[in-house]
Structure 1
């Protein structure tokens, strides 16, 4: 341990002298560490410094400490780990294949703060007493959330959410067993036809992954604008603009909310709008955008497809007293065409639980729905419903009735 600590100190000193950026120039860093380790080995042979038990392990430890996340880097490198969270320096947890476990990693308070500072350095986000929460994206696409005292009791609470599987198309989800081939073909046709899709589910149910996979069915010629709190979607389209929110400055100015992004997206000649998640008044702007004839998709936290519709009928009321349910409910009924609800099974696997159509009718203040796919005995099966806008399917060459009735396909 003593030798590794000395190696790290020497490498950091050389980085400062040579002006190397470890994050932007990892190849130069690795070469530098190898040279320092080789020089250290020579000195250890002459008895000037303690020998290294495992030079290769020492090299990785130093690289992780300088350019990675030190003791946490091993979990970022582990494909089975989906999320890392720190409740206190002595309690570092990971979720592995959906199951939480307490790790043997023990940190100090100074290490936790240094790790957070290092993660925020490249994000442009800040964390202080006036702004005790931060939500940021790491260079590898992981999502970071931190809360500090006095919002927390005494220690920093850190969450790092990884995206272990990147599904660029619905076929990827079929291969993973998250959705059946027939349901995937239907959803792909619905997106290509321009239906508006709401993806719902609990936290970590795979909503962003599903949204990314659905977006893979958007025709290549269309221009896509994405609006997110933090960059998470990775669309492979040729014509795509990704927008993210911005926190206020130290003076409390310059904040850009998700609601502002949705409004600005409409001025950018979109063929499609994809909103990462709606939680508050931005749901009103999203509904207005969808009602303006711009097809779109978004996600929402909910326990079922019908609860998702109820929530989308309620959130726009936060936009102001002049927004009433009499306006919002029929707007939701006409703007949302499909709800795809996701869940996690007993093994932690993310699956599509139900696909619900919204015919566009309202009865006694409630948006009517029709089940297209539902789960019976743990299997997603065809129900009796049909989606709205059969003419849009026909426009892209899809006979939706034949597609849904072909259960063996």
Structure 2
């Protein structure tokens, strides 16, 4: 079977070359070509001219994966239970299934790894070479690719492909997934509608992008939304939205568009709401300025707890320059950020909301005053005694804040 598929793959690639087809752009024509090639091969195998195919349908799928998809990796992309694929070296390919890592039986060659990465980058317009040994890009089907090459890595190319299995478009989707309780989801929905600024924190793979996507589903449909991301990840369909992503420098080292520039440009586009995919560096200052200018927004940040996320938001803007001091940043964070939603990945691989805190807007001895609204106790997200700021905004939006946060029973 393997010999037959290898022969067929060579014949199909030659036919594609002769006909000038682009497998990714001419998917239907490529599918017909593969089907005709398999049928012709099957006839020749009956005459004993070529090795016989045990399962023509399986051979057709393998050919389609090799020519149109990502070859041996395609089956992992097609598996809805797999969340991430990474290659440490050609003989060590891992997947994350339900939050847990598994070593696969797939073995590639170094040449195959390079070919797969180059194929994935072809549609992104991004490059990977000695001058740019890192790359971050989106695949046409929405997955996020990150790759690193030697000599930044020791010997082999390191490749990560992150999928988005549970695409939650509303907070109620997260309730169904068990990530958040109905009361917390109802409160967060009201907070977004009322125009509060929400920071989503958590570790890698905790579900921050999914939470922001769900929170964005609560933004009123008449609002003009601008999203700024390193690579496109958010999916805000069916609304007034402009999505912006960063750009790498060209071969001459020019033309780079960093996240800070995107935030500044977004403010010139008359946004009613601004969303920052992930705050890592000095763009935190631009986000604070945007939020402090009356533009409600959402953003994500890596942190171990909600309060550590607040501390980090007070530190990152200092990277913007020596003239930026904590005397400006700390009260600005207190005034600009209203809620922090912290997420966690449990040991069983389930993503859950760990806590929700509110910033009162006050600073005491350089520390921002916070209060807990919800926290997880014995695997349950329960209401605590804190209250968020801006009760007047909830009231103007038609919500009774005290009723939203009333203790059950």
Same fold by TM-score greater than 0.5: yes
Aligned to 2:129: 128
Q: Distance in 1 between matches of 2:403 and 2:394?
A: 11
Moved over 3 A (4+): none
Equivalent position SS for 2:361: coil
> Which consecutive residues of structure 2, in runs of 5 or more, have no partner in the other structure?
none
- Closer, same or farther in 2 for the Cα pair 1:252/1:111, shift >3 Å? same
2:218 matches 1:217: yes
Q: How does 1:253-292 map to 2 (within 5 A)?
A: 253-292=254-293
2:205 matches 1:183: no
Any idea what the Cα deviations from partners look like across 1:206-232, whole Å, max 9, x if unmatched?
A: 000000000000000000000000000
Aligned to 1:61: 62
Any idea what the Cα deviations from partners look like across 1:168-226, whole Å, max 9, x if unmatched?
A: 00010000001000000000000000000000000000000000000000000000000
Q: How does 1:47-196 map to 2 (within 5 A)?
A: 47-196=48-197
Q: Distance in 2 between matches of 1:152 and 1:181?
A: 45
Deviation (angstroms), 1:238: 2.2
Deviation (angstroms), 1:406: 5.2
Q: Distance in 2 between matches of 1:234 and 1:297?
A: 14
Q: Distance in 1 between matches of 2:357 and 2:141?
A: 34
Aligned to 2:16: 15
Deviation (angstroms), 1:407: 2.3
- Closer, same or farther in 2 for the Cα pair 1:310/1:369, shift >3 Å? same
CA contact (8 A) 2:227 2:276 kept: yes
Aligned to 1:328: 329
Any idea what the Cα deviations from partners look like across 1:261-282, whole Å, max 9, x if unmatched?
A: 0000000000000000000000
Deviation (angstroms), 1:346: 2.0
Q: Distance in 1 between matches of 2:126 and 2:149?
A: 14
Aligned to 2:313: 312
> Which consecutive residues of structure 1, in runs of 5 or more, have no partner in the other structure?
none
Any idea what the Cα deviations from partners look like across 1:99-147, whole Å, max 9, x if unmatched?
A: 1011000000000000000000011110000110000001111110001
Given the two structures, how large is their TM-score scaled by the length of structure 2? 0.99
Aligned to 2:31: 30
Q: How does 1:216-255 map to 2 (within 5 A)?
A: 216-255=217-256
Q: Distance in 2 between matches of 1:132 and 1:284?
A: 28
CA RMSD of aligned residues (A): 0.8
Q: Distance in 1 between matches of 2:141 and 2:166?
A: 13
Any idea what the Cα deviations from partners look like across 1:70-99, whole Å, max 9, x if unmatched?
A: 000010011111110000001000111111
CA contact (8 A) 2:360 2:371 kept: yes
Aligned to 2:382: 381
CA contact (8 A) 2:357 2:372 kept: yes
Q: Distance in 2 between matches of 1:129 and 1:232?
A: 27
Q: How does 1:343-354 map to 2 (within 5 A)?
A: 343-354=344-355
CA contact (8 A) 2:383 2:407 kept: no
Q: Distance in 2 between matches of 1:89 and 1:239?
A: 43
Any idea what the Cα deviations from partners look like across 1:24-73, whole Å, max 9, x if unmatched?
A: 22222111111100000111111111111111111011100001110000
Given the two structures, how large is their TM-score scaled by the length of structure 1? 0.99
Aligned to 1:44: 45
Q: Distance in 1 between matches of 2:22 and 2:124?
A: 15
Any idea what the Cα deviations from partners look like across 1:269-308, whole Å, max 9, x if unmatched?
A: 0000000000000000000000000000100000000000
CA contact (8 A) 1:274 1:297 kept: yes
Deviation (angstroms), 1:394: 0.8
Deviation (angstroms), 1:19: 2.0
Equivalent position SS for 2:51: coil
Equivalent position SS for 2:344: strand
Q: Distance in 2 between matches of 1:237 and 1:374?
A: 33
CA contact (8 A) 2:249 2:256 kept: yes
Q: Distance in 1 between matches of 2:97 and 2:127?
A: 29
CA contact (8 A) 1:216 1:236 kept: no
